[in-house]
Amino acid sequence: MYQLLFFVFAGAAVGFAINLLLQRHPIHSALSLIGVMASLASLYLMLGAEFIAAAQIIVYAGAIMVLFVFVIMLLNAGEEERTQRSRFAKYLGLPLILLLVTSMAAVIYRQVPQDAMVRFGDFPGRTADIGRRLFLNYLLPFEVVSIVILVAIIGTVVLARKDSETEGPGKAVVSEK
Amino acid sequence: MVPLSYYLILSAILFTLGVAGFLFKRNIVTIFMSVELMLNAVNLTFVALSYSLRQLDGQIIVFFVMVIAAAEAAVGLAIIITVFRNRESLNVDRIDLMKL
Amino acid sequence: MLSEYFSAVDFLVLKPVILLTLFGVGVMLTDLLLEERHRYLSAVTALVGLGFAGVQMWMIQSQMRQAEVNELEAFRGAVRLDHFGIFFFWIFLISSAIAILLAIRYLEIEQEHHGEYYALILFATVGMILLAIGTDLITLFVSLELMVISVYILTGFLRRDRRSNEAALKYLLLGAFSTGILAYGMSLLYGLSNSTNLEEIAFAISQRPAGDPVVLLAVITVATGLFFKVGAVPFHQWLPDAYEGAPTSITAFMSVGPKAAAFAFLLRMFMLPLGPAREQWLPLLIGVAVATMTLGNLAAVSQSNVKRLLAYSAISHVGYILLGLVSGNDTGLKGIAIYLLVYAFMNMGAFAVVVAMRRRDLIGDEIDDMAGLMYKSPTAAVLMMIFLLSLAGIPPTAGFLGKYFIFLSLIESQHFTLAVIAVLYVAVALYYYFRIVAVMFMREPVDWELPTLAPGIRIALGVTAAMTLIIGLYPEPFIQIVSRTVLP
């Protein structure tokens, strides 16, 4: 049963990811990415990481991807055009990627002990334990991350706000060239 | 029951797909989404390892990676908006004012 | 009180960082209250913040000396304040201060004078400091991102300038990509060692058999991520565009502060957790170092834009610094430390001159714009010449010192071919540095616009030029400081 669920969600994740690459319009890619994240959230549940699964849905799929979708809609980006793709990408691209993935998979498969199994139950800890460890051992990164968020907010306002005097592509300044 | 290596291989596949998307797609937003796919793959690795090592540290790292990804996404999208404002195109081949 | 979570040592080590954060927020508040023409007060506030942080660190240093303690560990092993970290702290402080000084008039001309600039520099400095004293994967990762995200924003700060947008975009995309690769490498390190602490990872790797493929994969991914951050070949693609398009005061900042921080991170990673795997990464490192020197020097020869030339020259310097890691002995590490210190001054000085060239109608970053600078403003021309000589590594300027130690370390560790190659490239570099000098001194000026020598720029030029000459003429005390840094 566990195996079946694993293959269903894993297959879904890979399927959505491949779809992300194959789609031409960014909105379809965004929706595929959301599919990947949902499948991953299910896999996290199967690994016993309830807090992370919830965070994945709420933060990643629910906030970050929504932001992506907003921007795609806002910019009204059209379909990807067929630009001149280099020969390198067309012919060497796929084989190189396959090579990369098979070598990584081979390394992992050989080195991980055969008896390391994942089963439902037997989980490392509960959400309360996460909280305790977070504030005991990882207090410093936690505080630093709040500065990161502040910086992100400053950044988005500084960069993306509407300037009252200058608006629109006509008023762009091209410094030389 | 599923071997741990299956999870790790899955994350390697997703990671590689993200790398492929970054290298071969032409739309800036899609390129950026491929990076998010890579980070998701990394998160999966951490959670799977956290299970097998019987520790919660991996899950805590995932928490931090998610927050950082959110911050980066916000700033990245803001920069994409500024590029688009001055230029009207989101094709990465068209964005080459500065050449070798 | 909260003694289980937060102890006195934690607070002590964190004081400079807390001050900088508070001042960063404070700058944004003062910026709200100030009118356009008093905006420079935000810059002053930021500088005061840097001053306070410096004073705090000085007090911490004297406390450490009194207690005869060489390092302070805090936050349950997440950070370690040792001489290495303190040395880098001072480099960051100086580079941030100069970046602030250079910006005041520059941003006014660009009509993008906002206080957020200064706040972001302070936050970036926080990230850099924590990056230099971190000993835990998570702390390092989060601090790296704090620094880097601040710099992405600063790179794109000139919102209406297409080159600035493009620079920020390329930097961000490639930066995010490398963060992903680095994070994957970190996951492998975590899996190998069951810990995120660098020391424990080092121990776990040393227990692994030699030639372990997982270790190799971890080394490759982590090294790739780190090489991206410092701009080594073939992961340097973002650097010339980011340097050329960013506001010049930020290019100055980027080329020194964040670069030194990235190197501190790289050094810690290569010496600590990846240290036991040295045989596995040494050939990779040698290849990257040689490729970096080659591309940096050769590409700089054909540049017509000063910022782009200095960007490629920065790449070449990265190659030299990596050579210090190749030799890996004490002299090599001393060389890296001295190189980064000296580089801070001479590179910021050169960029300060380029900032001064920006006037109302003229961008001023082409080499041709500097024609006949000798006749328009002899001070600027002579200072630029000093900085360029130092970058090339000519004694008695400070730049010679860094290269000297690196080459010495290569010879000490029997890497004679590499030493020869490095010296040959110094000769190549002379060509493109002297090209600028020739244009300044021997061509007729195209126009009679004088460079803007605003007070901030004057101070910056004075400090950088003075240090470039002082360190070059009187190196002993600096060599001593650096020796203490390196001996772990």
**Residue B54 buriedness (CB in 10 A; 0-12 / 13-18 / 19+):** exposed
Please work out, in degrees rounded to the nearest 5, the angle formed at the alpha carbon of residue C357 by the alpha carbons of C249 and A173: 70
Q: Looking at the predicted structure, is the pLDDT value of residue C335 above 60?
A: yes
Dist CA A102 CA B12 (whole Å): 9
With a pLDDT cut of 70, the percent of chain C lying above it is 97
Contact A154 C28 (CB under 8 A): yes
What are the residues whose beta carbons fall under 8 Å from the beta carbon of C416, sequence distance 6 or more? C410
Tell whether the model's pLDDT for residue C59 goes beyond 60: yes
| Location of structure tokens 């084989």 | A95
- Mutant choice from C110, C116, C367 vs A, greatest count of A C-beta within 10 A: C116
Residue C210 CB coordination number (10 Å): 9
Q: What pLDDT sits at residue A169?
A: 46
Long-range contacts of C291-296 (CB under 8 A, 24+ apart): C291/C232, C291/C233, C291/C234, C291/C319, C292/C232, C292/C233, C292/C236, C292/C316, C292/C318, C292/C319, C292/C322, C293/C319, C293/C320, C293/C323, C293/C421, C293/C422, C293/C425, C294/C233, C294/C319, C294/C425, C295/C233, C295/C236, C296/C233, C296/C236
DSSP E strands in C217-333: the ranges are none
pLDDT at residue A167, rounded to an integer: 44
Comparing CB atoms, the residue among C165, C166, C184 nearest residue B15 is C184
Mean pLDDT value across chain C: 86
Q: 3-class DSSP state for residue A120?
A: coil
| pLDDT (0 to 100) of residue C204 | 85
The answer to whether the CB atoms of A144 and C75 lie below 8 A apart is no
Are A125 and A49 in contact by the 8 Å Cβ rule? The answer is no
| Residue B86 contacts C, CB cutoff 8 Å | yes
C267 against A78, higher pLDDT: C267
CB-facing half-sphere around the CA of C26: CA atoms within 13 A: 17
pLDDT greater than 90 at residue C130? yes
In whole angstroms, what is the distance from residue C168 CA to residue C149 CA?
A: 10
Alpha-carbon Rg for chain C in angstroms: 22
Lowest mean pLDDT among A149-158, C22-31, C123-132, C414-423: C414-423
- Sign, CA torsion C372/C374/C377/C382: positive
CA distance B1 to C82: 47
Interface list for chain A against chain C, based on CB atoms closer than 8 Å = 104, 107-108, 110-111, 135-141, 144-145, 147-148, 150-152, 154-155, 157-159, 163, 166, 171-177
DSSP string, A41-59: HHHHHHTT-HHHHHHIIII
Chain centre distance of CA C246: 15
In angstroms, the Cα distances linking B38 to B69, C137, C407 are 11, 18, 40
C167 touches chain B (CB under 8 A): yes
Which chain B residues are closer than 8 Å to C190 by Cβ? 46, 49, 57-58, 61
A93 to each of A5, A39, B24, C175, C357, how far by Cα in Å?
32, 27, 8, 22, 45
Give B44-73 pLDDT, tens digit per residue: 999 999 888 888 888 999 999 999 999 999
- C266 versus C113: which is more confidently predicted? C266
Contact A63, A44 (CB under 8 A): no
A152 to C75: CB separation less than 8 angstroms, yes or no: no
- Cα of B68 vs its chain's centroid, Å: 11
What number of other Cβ atoms are within 10 A of residue A28's Cβ?
16
Phi/psi for A176 (5° steps) reads 75, 165
Phi/psi for A167 (5° steps) reads: -145, 145
| pLDDT at position A126 | 81
pLDDT of residue A166: 47
Query: What integer pLDDT is reported at residue C7 of this predicted model?
Result: 77
**A159 contact residues in B (CB cutoff 8 A):** 75, 78-79, 81-82
Whether residues A172 and C162 touch (CB distance < 8 A) is answered with yes
Per-residue pLDDT of C442-460, as tens digits, reads: 877 777 777 777 888 888 8
Residue C107 has what pLDDT? 80
pLDDT class of B100 with cuts at 50, 70, 90: very low
Please enumerate in sequence order all residues whose Cβ is within 8 A of that of A66, keeping only pairs 6 or more positions apart, or say none.
Answer: none
* Per-window interface: C 163-202 vs A, CB < 8 A: 163-164, 168
pLDDT at position C30, please? 87
**What are the pLDDT digits (tens) for C180-218?**
999 999 999 998 888 888 888 888 888 887 777 888 888
Q: What DSSP letter does each residue of C307-341 carry, written as one string?
A: HHHHHHHHHHHHHHHHHHHHH-SHHHHHHHHHHHH
Domain annotation for chain B: domains and CATH numbers: 27-89 (1.10.287.3510)
Residues 6+ apart with CB under 8 A from A79: A24, A25
pLDDT digits (tens, 9 = 90+) for C283-307: 888 889 889 989 888 888 888 888 8
The pTM for the full model equals 0.91
Measured between beta carbons, which residues in chain C are less than 8 angstroms from residue A110?
A: 213
Q: Which candidate from B3, B18, B51 shows the least CB-CB separation from A48?
A: B51
What pLDDT does residue A142 have? 92
Q: Please, is C125 exposed, middle or buried when counting C-beta atoms within 10 Å of its C-beta (0-12, 13-18, 19+)?
A: buried
Residue A112 has its nearest CB partner, among B5, B20, B80, at B5
Q: How far is C74 from chain A (nearest CA, A)?
A: 9
Report the distance separating Cα A103 and Cα B18, nearest Å.
16
- Tens of pLDDT, residue by residue over C37-56, are 777 888 888 999 999 999 99
Per-residue pLDDT of chain A (177 residues; tens, 9 = 90+): 888 989 999 999 999 999 999 888 899 999 999 999 999 999 999 888 889 999 999 999 999 999 999 999 988 867 766 666 565 666 677 788 888 888 888 888 877 777 777 777 777 778 888 888 888 888 899 999 999 999 999 999 999 887 755 444 444 444 443
- The complex's ipTM? 0.93
CA C272 to CA C133: how far, in whole Å? 13
Tokens of A102: 């098979």
Place of tokens 């995010």: C176
pLDDT-derived band at C265, boundaries 50, 70, 90: very high
The beta-carbon neighbor of B64 closest among C138, C153, C190 is C138
Q: Alpha-carbon distance C367 to A36, whole Å?
A: 50
d(CA C397, CA C471): 7
Collapsed DSSP state (helix, strand, coil) of residue B27: strand
Could you tell me which of A89, A85, A87, A69 has the C-alpha nearest to residue A77? Answer: A69
Q: Is B40 on the interface with C (CB under 8 A)?
A: no
Q: Rounded to whole angstroms, how far apart are CA atoms C64 and C71? A: 8
Residue A83 is predicted with a pLDDT of 60
To the nearest whole Å, the CA of C338 is away from the closest chain A CA by: 29
| C292 token code pair | 């970096």
Q: Is the model's pLDDT at C23 over the cut of 90?
A: yes
Residue C360 confidence class, pLDDT cut points 50, 70, 90: low
